[in-house]
Amino acid sequence: MAVIKREASVKLLNEFIKGESLLNHSMMVAKAMEGYARTLNKSEQQVEEWWTAGLLHDLDWEKYPDEHPHKAVSEILPEHDYPESVIEAIKAHAPERTGKEPNSEIERYLFACDELSGFMNAVSLMRPNGFEDMKVKSVTKKLKDAKFAANVPREDIRKGAELIGKELNDHITFLIGVFRS
């Protein structure tokens, strides 16, 4: 059943997103969310929900950027019977657009993984070996450079680590491990 659900979610993602960069970001956030869900000993159903929230969090960004994430959470995902936990997490990943702050665990982790995953991908693209030999210092050094990946809000990255009760370096270390595998 979980495999069918993942296949359906990937199919839905590919209906709405064509850009390779955004598809990659969606897969990275799904992988990060699954990694954390497993580390937190979530049930298999919860692991699937966390993975799905990560995968589909930017579902409407490409086609409906001005309506993101409202289009996905009010029309697209309910039409496909996605669980409320996934829909609420996606709402909470963009509190400045929805007014919903990340409160539940899945919401806090999605917020924490979103911007940092994108930023770390940008760092990996600047490195000959990508994530393979990446060190925390490689990421933190780039975080201090306001011109590097300037569109990524550093405050959201810091807030995300706080929301999940982790030091930023520990959060980065965990995600490096997830993205290496």
pTM of the predicted structure, to 2 decimals: 0.95
The predicted pLDDT at position 181 comes to 81
DSSP string, 95-125: HHHH-----SHHHHHHHHHHHHHHHHHHHHH
User: Domain-by-domain residue ranges, the chain?
Assistant: 2-180
Tens digit of pLDDT at every position of the chain (181 positions): 334 589 999 999 999 999 999 999 999 999 999 999 999 999 999 999 999 999 999 999 999 999 999 999 999 999 999 999 999 999 999 999 999 999 999 999 999 999 999 999 999 999 999 999 999 999 999 999 999 999 999 999 999 999 999 999 999 999 999 999 8
